[in-house]
Structure formats: C-alpha cells, structure tokens
Structure 1
Amino acid sequence: MIPIGDTRRALLPPVPAASARELRLRREAAAGQAAPVPAAVSDHYVPAAAARDASSFLRAGCGPDLLKGLRRGKWAIGATLDLHGSTLDEARQRLDQFLQSCLTHQVRCVCVIHGKGHGSRRGEPVLKTTVRHWLAQLDCVQAYVECREEDGGSGAVQVLLRAGADA
C-alpha cells in the first residue's frame, strides 16, 4: 500500500469536557425541554459598522489594528466552510453549527466561502451579501475581511472569532 501524502488538514482534538452551561443544556434537551435555538439573525440587517462595499467588518470596541492583522495573515485560518449551492436556510444552519464547533475547539480564525453570486438567478449575489450581514450580527465575530484573491477573493471572507469557548 502507498501511504497518502500530507493533506494539510488540521486534525481537531476531541471536544474538551463540557462547561456547566453546556451540561445544563444537554440535560434539558435529554429531558425533552426546549432545545437551544440557533442565533437569531436577520436576512435584511445591514450593519452600520461594515464597509460601504461590505468587504470588511469590525465590531464596535475593537481597534482598527485587528483588521490590519487579519488582512496580513496574523492569524492562520484554522477551519473553512464552503456554502456553495446551499439555500439560505441551509447556509444559516451550517454557518451556525460551524461557528459553534470552531468556538468549542478554540479555532480563532476561519474562512467562510459563500461564492461570488455569478450563478444566481438574477445575477446578484444572495449568499455573499446575506452571510456577511449574518456575521456582523453574531457576538462571537470580532471582524471579517474579504479574502485575498488566491484564497477566494470576493467569494470568501476571513473571520476572526472571539477568544475562548464561551464567546
């Protein structure tokens, strides 16, 4: 047998022992009580703090050096989510699960690929605009910038998440 070459994929460690909050939520779910609802985000929200072209976003209270560092690659991308071909509902659910997993595994910088929208019915990007607006609404997101051309260009964003699993 020939061994498979290096795939450059990160192997995530097992999920650490759950926090007290997580254990409580699991007990409630097992007891049949209401399951936690994904973060409520609006499809029509337009953040005031986003750049005019929505190529970047910086949470209020964060310094502009955060955006510079993100653009320069200060944080290595630890995980990637590709939303190509997803409906808005599927994309919302997949993005929420992905971000929760990244926070649990303490992945700080992620890439979300939403596409450029060339295949849209009206030729206007749907996922691109909506995903960026969702990210601006989530408390766990400190900033995002459009990826470099070799990493997806305007069809992807590099997202910096808050440090710590309880973010």
Structure 2
Amino acid sequence: AEAPARQPAKRSPPPLAPIERRLKRKLARGRGEIDDAIDLHGMNQAEAHQALRGFLRHSQARGARLVIVVTGKGGPLDEPASFGHERGVLRRLAPHWLREPDLRTVVLGFEEAGRAHGGSGALYVRLRRA
C-alpha cells in the first residue's frame, strides 16, 4: 500500500514572548532604550488599526527593537463618549491587533507600559529582527 501524500504543514505564526524582567526593570526606571512611539489617541478603530500596522512594519524595517504604542486610557468618566465612540476601545483592541497572526513576524511580545511611559494607556512592543 502506498503512503498517503502528505499535505505541506501550514506554518503556524511564531509565538509571542514576554518582555524580559531585566528590560522591564530598566523601563520602569525610565532607562530602557525606546526606539520609537506612536500615539493612536483620537483615531477611530480603522485608522488606528491601519496606523499601528504600518508603524510596526516601518519600525521593524528601520531596525527598531522596542516601541511604545499609546492608546490612551479612554478619557475621564465624566466626559460623555462621543456618538459611535466607545470609551477605551483602542486600549482594549490594541492587544488583539498585536496578536494577529500576520503581525507575528513583526511583534515579538508586548505588555502594559510602566507609569513613566503612560501606564495602562500605553504598551511596550518588542519587535523581531527584520
């Protein structure tokens, strides 16, 4: 009997890795080397998603290793969310975008920024080497 033809294995995207403890400590003290930053404040979801993807790819191509993505915290609670804009939506969506399979070749890992860099309104993102 002939062995069944094997389907080429679909390559799964590389896994995300946590940011190393030593680097996190340096960043917490405001000493880590941050190569670039993007502020998504005030953009709608589609604009922010597109801007983030372009920024990450461009940063990686330039050799950046660590960037900051500012999502904002979602505005003060006494300020009404404008029509069609949910409060804190970018802050909630950015991690999902960073986990997208096609960005895994760019994003090595990410986590909430330290207070010195915007705390819960920002993310540190480690980039893979191009």
Tell me the TM-score normalised to structure 2 length.
0.70
Out of 85, 88, 93, the position equivalent to 1:130 is 93
RMSD of equivalent CA atoms: 2.3
1:81-96 matches, cutoff 5 A: 81-96=38-53
Cα distance between partner residues in 2 of 1:147 and 1:61:
17
Contact 2:41–2:70 under 8 Å retained in 1: yes
Out of 18, 22, 35, the position equivalent to 1:78 is 35
Query: Which runs of 5 or more residues in structure 1 are unaligned?
Result: 1-58
Cα distance between partner residues in 1 of 2:23 and 2:49:
24
Higher relative contact order (CA 8 A, sep 6+): 2
Out of 74, 78, 85, the position equivalent to 1:117 is 74
Tell me the residue number matched to 1:149: 115
Once the two structures are superposed, what CA deviation does each residue of 1:13-60 show, in whole Å capped at 9, x if it has no partner?
xxxxxxxxxxxxxxxxxxxxxxxxxxxxxxxxxxxxxxxxxxxxxx73
Relative to structure 1, the CA distance from residue 79 to residue 133 in structure 2 (aligned partners, 3 Å threshold; closer, same or farther) is same
Cα distance between partner residues in 2 of 1:118 and 1:135:
22
Letter in 2 for 1:131: A
Contact 2:113–2:122 under 8 Å retained in 1: yes
1:6-155 matches, cutoff 5 A: 60=15, 62=17, 66-73=19-26, 76-118=33-75, 121=81, 124-137=87-100, 138-139=103-104, 140-155=106-121
Tell me the TM-score normalised to structure 1 length.
0.55
Contact 2:67–2:126 under 8 Å retained in 1: yes
Relative to structure 1, the CA distance from residue 114 to residue 71 in structure 2 (aligned partners, 3 Å threshold; closer, same or farther) is same
Cα distance between partner residues in 1 of 2:67 and 2:87:
25
Tell me the residue number matched to 1:37: none
Aligned residues: percent identity?
36
Aligned-pair CA distance for 1:61: 6.8
Cα distance between partner residues in 1 of 2:25 and 2:115:
13
Pairs aligned (count) = 104
